[in-house]
Chain A
């Protein structure tokens, strides 16, 4: 039985009631809706004879762990004769989907679902549809590996693309792991801790000397310290200055350690990213990834730089102050802490509100920035359609919104925090009142100086509250950041190098695709059973509409992705068995999206082989037709290009990237729409150069403009992921198929402007 979703034991009796035994089931899947879109457990069951749709509600009985079982209450059952089902398929809607078929000649809806289980339904149809036609689909184990649930607690991962279970995540493990980065700095960290402890101690000692000690001893007659004002003042000064120095030193040390640790963290993450396969990048937008890494590591940096030391220092300080207060005077200490819970709760509420206000301000400022940069980059369009006024208004609207939001933040800060301070003063007032009475009556040995000391300590306890209450928020931000970064560091590349790669020695360059099937997204085949061959040193053109899957073929040959089924061979060896080094050295690609790095033109051409001589660089540029425009630049090959420097035109960029690939001197050269942005004359010239190059080299050219492919040895036509035709230009013209249609179309376009085939 092919279980797309696990068949629970609670379903078995319900099925057998309808005469379906477990061993008869060929394919099984669970969906989550009834036909009327209400929530229901719907099971699709395909047997030899029928396709049954069982609907009902599953509920849990008993306590977890103890006599726990699931109960299924049936609400509906429909059975369809397998012989009468045709065209089993899925119709996808905005938020739902349904399984439909032609039953006995009538369009019929079999089941409905939310998109949550769309994948299951797709896999069900993938295997059930061929079975209904009497065929067998080759079983791909990946389709049945259900990895959407946490193996530890069985809960569904919140995000199917990210295998993180928030319930089972161990925070302590994360922090321990972070500290492995800091293990070289153990001594530094001990120093920092010592420093923090010292500052805290001095911070706690200072109030005693400036209050009780000063008033009750230095200023009271008969005490051995009486009159020694200078000494007392120096003592207080020493404590303050000493605390400051120790604090500064430990701050400097911790800044260095934190910076180094975050640097190492970033380095680890970056090298992990470089190792990862393409699919990782397409799943997350690259821009988002960039921001995320930066934000997350900054969050960690500030947490350990600012957050953690202050936290430790304040906790020590609060604890010490409390102890001292209780030693000094128990009843008064109790009075002082009565207000603390109220105070802490107030601050917590205030912080929540403040965070949401800040988030809103952040959003408006982001919106303002993006519309500003939109209007500035698009100023040509703005001017051309004379929309200056509207753009100004738009900017004004957003600017006003930001101003309003910032105002509310300021307003909040200026009103809410004084309120909190007042509550804090409440504790002072209580201490004043009760302590004053004690001092006057002399109860509990209270003196004037001691009262002042007590007040100082109660402030020492209250002030850090502002920060400590917000600590949980800070802490969770840091934990998140760490989690995400380690997740990247731990991500397994899907495309892995073979442990014992086969070495070809010198690659000849023959390429063979054998029944290759590939999909970026499960169940949506982008390449469907494509087979073709290119002999070593021959050239092949791949033709097809945009979106037909041409570039995907190049990606598979480069092994940027791995095939789902079938094999790609180079010189008769599966590309999966070749070493990455050999593969990347001998297969060069010029892709549709040319990317040039910030640097000089020669740096960019030399990208893949940094050791190339200037002569080689010029030769490559000449071959690629890039030399002509480079010589006209004042700085020649040293012209800086890339973001923020000289802008090259689309065609120029393509020529530089072709030069880059040519310099690599690969045995197999893939040109993926590499000349699409050039004018016809330049393209023709490069075509000639490529012809030169293709002598003794395998060239695969992908294009939709057929004129680009005039000189290739053979052609394949790809449509909708399938290979529809192959052969030489003449053969394909004679076959009068897709290629012929395309050819006719493009020829007509030329004829319309008065050009005929020579």
Chain B
């Protein structure tokens, strides 16, 4: 007897251009979705959740309803056509916004905390990091994030792109 493959046992409900219509208004994303049973439903406010935020931020993005229940999954944002993809990317950018560090002006370890002053795309910001080794996280080979005591996250999108002076300040944590 031929054994069933995992992929035949369970199917993932994907969002396709045929079964979903996204609309965007004033910073909110809504979805009209037809399930495989042909049932159509409207969701005025949907949430997007990246399943692999670090590796493939545009693939396997879950669409959740108000109660955080998954409606369906986006296999790849670019599959959905330019208009929808644009809306989804904007919503993702809103939801996953983190400050991007361009330059590190100051890092000082004091009393178990490190004080940081950095230049981001949104201007200069200061923050405090507790247990720096744990809260400084390298992602892949060239990216890193650091989370402060309040839960804000800052990203260094390219470690190799940092200037020497900035790099020297964070060398220890990499």
A-binding segment of B9-17, B25-33, B80-88: B25-33
Q: A38, B122: Cβ atoms under 8 Å?
A: yes
- Asked if A615 is at the interface of the complex by the 8 Å CB criterion, the answer is no
Within 8 A of A (CB), among B139-174: 148-154, 171-172
Q: A95, B98: Cβ atoms under 8 Å?
A: yes
Bound complex: CA A589 to CA B150 (Å): 35
**CB-defined contacts of A107 to chain B, threshold 8 Å:** 25-26, 28, 44-45
Across the interface, A160 reaches (CB within 8 A) one of B25, B96, B150, B152, namely: B150
**CB-defined contacts of B130 to chain A, threshold 8 Å:** 159
How far, in Å, is A153 (CB) from chain B's closest CB?
A: 15
- Asked if A421 is at the interface of the complex by the 8 Å CB criterion, the answer is no
Could you tell me how many residues of chain B have their Cβ less than 8 Å away from some Cβ of chain A? 33
Q: B149, A160: Cβ atoms under 8 Å?
A: yes
- Asked if A70 is at the interface of the complex by the 8 Å CB criterion, the answer is no
Q: B26, A106: Cβ atoms under 8 Å?
A: yes
Could you tell me how many residues of chain A have their Cβ less than 8 Å away from some Cβ of chain B? 31
**CB-defined contacts of A483 to chain B, threshold 8 Å:** 111
Across the interface, B150 reaches (CB within 8 A) one of A100, A116, A288, namely: A116
Q: A118, B111: Cβ atoms under 8 Å?
A: no
Q: A480, B172: Cβ atoms under 8 Å?
A: no
Q: B97, A95: Cβ atoms under 8 Å?
A: yes
Q: A359, B172: Cβ atoms under 8 Å?
A: yes
Bound complex: CA A150 to CA B109 (Å): 20
Contacts A37-B122, A356-B172, A363-B133 given; does A115 touch B96 at CB 8 Å: no
- Asked if A39 is at the interface of the complex by the 8 Å CB criterion, the answer is yes
- Asked if A335 is at the interface of the complex by the 8 Å CB criterion, the answer is no
- CB-CB nearest in chain A for B25: A107
Contacts A38-B122, A164-B111 given; does A95 touch B153 at CB 8 Å: yes
Bound complex: CA A114 to CA B151 (Å): 9
Q: B150, A115: Cβ atoms under 8 Å?
A: yes
Q: B123, A114: Cβ atoms under 8 Å?
A: no
Contacts A115-B152, A356-B172 given; does A96 touch B26 at CB 8 Å: no
Bound complex: CA A166 to CA B110 (Å): 8
**CB-defined contacts of B78 to chain A, threshold 8 Å:** none
Across the interface, A114 reaches (CB within 8 A) one of B25, B27, B150, namely: B150
- Asked if A126 is at the interface of the complex by the 8 Å CB criterion, the answer is no
- Asked if A93 is at the interface of the complex by the 8 Å CB criterion, the answer is yes
**CB-defined contacts of A356 to chain B, threshold 8 Å:** 171-172
- Asked if A253 is at the interface of the complex by the 8 Å CB criterion, the answer is no
Across the interface, B152 reaches (CB within 8 A) one of A95, A100, A166, namely: A95
Bound complex: CA A160 to CA B133 (Å): 19
How far, in Å, is A740 (CB) from chain B's closest CB?
A: 21
Bound complex: CA A95 to CA B145 (Å): 11
**CB-defined contacts of B153 to chain A, threshold 8 Å:** 94-95
Across the interface, A116 reaches (CB within 8 A) one of B27, B44, B152, B172, namely: B152
Q: A360, B172: Cβ atoms under 8 Å?
A: yes
How far, in Å, is B88 (CB) from chain A's closest CB?
A: 15
Q: A39, B125: Cβ atoms under 8 Å?
A: yes
Q: A158, B149: Cβ atoms under 8 Å?
A: yes
**CB-defined contacts of A360 to chain B, threshold 8 Å:** 172
- CB-CB nearest in chain B for A159: B149
Interface residues in chain A, defined as those with a beta carbon under 8 Å from any beta carbon in chain B? 37-39, 93-96, 100, 106-109, 114-116, 118, 158-161, 164, 166, 169, 288, 356, 359-360, 363, 480, 483-484
Q: What are 29 A-B contacts with C-beta separation under 8 Å? A: A37-B122, A38-B123, A39-B122, A39-B123, A93-B97, A94-B95, A94-B96, A94-B153, A95-B97, A95-B153, A106-B25, A106-B26, A107-B26, A107-B44, A108-B26, A109-B26, A109-B27, A109-B28, A114-B152, A115-B151, A115-B152, A116-B152, A118-B150, A118-B151, A158-B128, A160-B149, A164-B111, A166-B110, A483-B111
Other 17 A-B pairs with CB < 8 A, given A93-B95, A158-B115? A37-B97, A37-B122, A39-B125, A94-B98, A95-B99, A95-B152, A95-B153, A96-B152, A100-B28, A107-B26, A109-B26, A114-B150, A158-B113, A166-B110, A166-B111, A169-B111, A483-B111
